[in-house]
Amino acid sequence: MGILARITNAAKSSNKSNESSLSTGGHGIDKNRVLSPTDPTVINPMNAGTWETVRTAPINDTPRYYTKVEADALKAVARQKREEARQAKRAYKSLKTLEQSDAQVHTAHRNYIKGVADSELTKKRSDASTARHLHTLRPEYAKLGFGLDRAENRAQQRIEELKAKIKENR
């Protein structure tokens, strides 16, 4: 039976039964589930983020003079923000490392899943091979069964003949 015939026959018979269509090349892989984000807020082409930025001081679009108090206050804020920026850089580096670690675990898990799927296919190939072999044995078993039926019938017939002979001799 050709592949096209198998597929079209499977489509016709799928209305009649709930059999798996793996044998006809069917699948249950939903691309939307495969490509769905790992988190609703993760950055991807469908969610580019907010494009927000950090701005400690407002833009000074006109020239102006500053007082000593203002300059000292700005210097203190600048020193504080430089330290916070250093800590933010460390934190973002750690967050990036966490993301990379998560990605490594994710990749390792998917490789494990692929291995499980490959092993399952190997097992199913073995099962199918065994089933094909068992089907090749069926005619021989049928032949043995017919031979036993014939022997039983002959024995029963001989028993009936002997019973009839005994009744005649009485």
Domain contains 9? no
Domain contains 54? no
Question: Over the stretch 119-129, which tens digit does the pLDDT of each residue have?
Answer: 999 999 999 99
User: 99: closest CA among 34, 39, 31, 32?
Assistant: 39
Tell me the mean pLDDT in the region 123-146: 95
Question: Over the stretch 55-112, which tens digit does the pLDDT of each residue have?
Answer: 999 999 999 999 999 999 999 999 999 999 999 999 999 999 999 999 999 999 999 9
Lookup: tokens for 103: 């990605």
Domain contains 19? no
Domain contains 137? yes
Domain contains 11? no
Domain contains 52? no
Domain contains 118? yes
Question: Over the stretch 13-57, which tens digit does the pLDDT of each residue have?
Answer: 544 444 568 888 888 888 888 889 888 988 888 888 888 899 999
Kindly report the backbone phi and psi dihedral angles of residue 158, in degrees, each rounded to the nearest multiple of 5, phi listed first.
-65, -40
Amino acid 51: pLDDT: 86
CB 10 within 8 A of CB 26: yes
Letter for the amino acid at 68?
K
Overall pTM > 0.75: no
Alpha helices in 14-67 (DSSP H): 31-34
User: 2: closest CA among 25, 28, 19?
Assistant: 25
Q: CA 84 to CA 78: how far, in whole Å?
A: 10
Lookup: tokens for 135: 């089907």
Give the structural domain span for 164: 67-169
How many folded domains does the chain comprise?
1
